Amino acid sequence: MASIFVNPTQFGPNDDFNRYPRQLERDTELLQNLGVHHVLAPNAESMYGQDHLAYVNAKGFDKIAEGRARPGHFQGVATVVTKLFNIVRPTNAYFGQKDAAQCVLIRRIVEDLDMDVNVVVHDTVRDDDGLALSSRNAYLTNDERKAAPVLYRSLCAAKKMFKSFDADVIPATDLRRVVENELKSEPLVGEIQYVSIDNRATMQPIQKVLRQNGAIVSIACKVGSVRLIDNIVLE
């Protein structure tokens, strides 16, 4: 079983909820080809009634990089995932590493609220040129699409530095600088909202990366007018 739901509570007032790509017929066809027999595709009215007032508080997540960029986003994520788990009662639930902070949050929800579900995180699915697959890629013009793989190149530059560093402790500023330099080399990259070097288990920012612990390097920037995110795990 799969669920498809564009969740209004995780979009801010300046986000793209109204124009976010919705391709239900295409998505259900793809799921059918993968052997999925049932699709839960509720509308907002059935998920959030007129008098809905209970939300799951994602404590501390508004202070991480993605949370600062999108206030209230993670409360919306925590609430809708909890609701979907309660409706479906899945044995396993599958998420993508592209939304790294979301995956960390969902694991905490399951642990803290004693939910009987196994959270499985799959590697980010990428196009041949490295661009992470995302619904928002549909917004990109042809030129922007050609420029967008710079996100993955910048992350790979950080990974290369991590692997080649000859000390056991790597300053996060060094990793951040190499990512920002690569992003700035692409003229179509506009606002760089953040380059964050975070703890793999908590998504809290760290100043030094211990080789034995690794880290997650996360970025959010605009290519043209399109906001894209990506990350890479250093391990």
- On whether both 116 and 13 belong to a single domain, the answer is yes
pLDDT at residue 78 is higher than 80: yes
pLDDT at residue 147 is higher than 90: yes
Average pLDDT over every residue of 104-127? 97
123: three-class secondary structure by DSSP? coil
Domain with 223, as residue range(s), is 135-234
pLDDT score recorded for residue 60: 93
Q: What is the pTM of this model?
A: 0.90
More reliable by pLDDT, 173 or 20: 173
pLDDT at residue 86 is higher than 90: yes
Average pLDDT over every residue of 155-173? 94
| pLDDT tens digits, one per residue of 87-109 | 999 999 999 999 999 999 999 99
82: three-class secondary structure by DSSP? helix
- On whether both 8 and 113 belong to a single domain, the answer is yes
| pLDDT tens digits, one per residue of 7-27 | 999 998 878 888 888 889 999
Q: Write out the H or E segment, with its range, that includes residue 154.
A: helix 150-164
pLDDT score recorded for residue 105: 97
Residue 189 sits in a domain of what CATH number?
3.30.1300.10
Look at residue 189 and tell me if it is in a domain: yes
Beta-strand pair 208-210/39-40: unpaired
Residues 158 and 217: beta-carbon distance below 8 Å: yes
Chain-wide mean pLDDT for the chain? 95
Please name which of 83, 65, 1 lies closest in space to residue 34, comparing C-alpha atoms. 1
Token pair listed for 183: 């992003």
How is residue 90 annotated by DSSP? Answer: -
Residue 36 sits in a domain of what CATH number?
3.40.50.620
pLDDT score recorded for residue 102: 96
| CA–CA gap between residue 30 and residue 133 (Å, rounded) | 15
| pLDDT tens digits, one per residue of 184-232 | 999 999 999 999 999 999 999 999 999 999 999 999 999 999 999 999 9
- On whether both 103 and 162 belong to a single domain, the answer is no
